[in-house]
Amino acid sequence: TVTLLRMVLLTLLGYSALALVAYRIYSAVYNVVFPYFLGTPVDLHKKAGAKWAAVTDATDGIGKAYATALAKKFKFELFQKFNVFLISRTQSKLDETKKEIEAVAPGVEIKTFAFDFGATTRAAYEPLLSELRAIELGILVNNVGYSFEYPEILHATEGGLERLAGMTTIISLPPVLLSAVALEQMSKRKAGIVINIASGAAYHEASHWNVYSAAKRFVLHLSGILRTEYAPAGVTVQCISPMLVATKMAKIRRSSFFVPSADAFVAQALRSVGLVGETTGCYAHQILVEAVNALPALARDSIINKHTLVMHDGALAKRAKKMNDALEGRKNA
């Protein structure tokens, strides 16, 4: 009887383990295939319920790609033009971006607002918030971010306490304040889309990425809460957590399969709106995340930390070379 019971228990454990493995495989495949290949793109104008889209940090990289894609008639027929409200720190860059978008999306209305997201008070934000309240905002893309010069342990961070404070503020505060204003009108309208840009660094407690990883985790966590709070009001809240994209911020110029250009990345990310609440933004990045998550925690953390240390050591070596070259130049002058 005892032997039979053991056999039954072992059989149940075996089937349970197989079921768990099968579920994880199915989930991984679904996360890659459904948002980017099988799911039917939604009507963004219907989901948004208004024709204005606001994008922060809209003059470079992912933010500029979002603003441009939303202003143009997208390649999917359901994606029609939006008027765009460009928000970034430097007015000259905003003016330049506005001209570039007008060239590819004639007839679209474009507003700009220069704002330093290092601001920390309600009073400093109020002029921007007033502008957002004044338009019928259908889509808000919280994209503004700030990162390290290179990954480093907390107390040795390049830029010191000022950079750590700035990073915490710039990543965490805008999604709270701008989303609060946008969601008020969206919930009344029973339609709207908020897209928060986090990072793949948010998925793990990444050594040497400390404040950046933790702040992006806050964005990821906040997005999940807002998704639950505003789903009954018909508002879509999506969080995008990309890996590396070929942008100035990432200091990568050449794109590849796993490091797409900002335009290619955003084309896939916009396709996923309304299909999935949380994703990396493109299928190549989703493949990477699913592969990493399939590893045992010790192996996964070891791989991430080793990769981070390679980046850290490479950055320090590059810096040392620049300093040596500068010294040699002075000697030879």
Residues tagged active-site: 212
Taking alpha carbons only, the member of 167, 288, 271, 272 closest to residue 219 is 167
Report which DSSP code applies to 113.
E
- Any idea what the Cα angle at residue 39 is, between residues 56 and 51, rounded to 5°? 35
Q: Annotate 186-207 with three-state secondary structure.
A: HHHHCCEEEEEECCHHHHCCCC
DSSP per position, 40-91:
PPP-HHHHH-SSEEEEESTTSHHHHHHHHHHHS--SSTT----EEEEEES-H
Q: How far apart are CA 104 and CA 72, in angstroms?
A: 7
Q: Are 49 and 138 in contact (CB under 8 A)?
A: yes
Residue 199 CB partners (closer than 8 Å, separation 6+): 145, 212, 213, 216, 241, 242
Residue 318 CB partners (closer than 8 Å, separation 6+): none
Q: How far apart are CA 118 and CA 165, in angstroms?
A: 9
Q: How far apart are CA 194 and CA 236, in angstroms?
A: 6
Place of tokens 């460009």: 86
Extract long-range pairs of 179-182: CB within 8 Å, 24+ residues apart. Answer: 179/140, 179/142, 179/222, 179/226, 181/129, 181/132, 181/133, 182/54, 182/132, 182/137, 182/140
Residue 180 CB partners (closer than 8 Å, separation 6+): none
Q: Alpha-carbon Rg of the chain, whole angstroms? A: 22
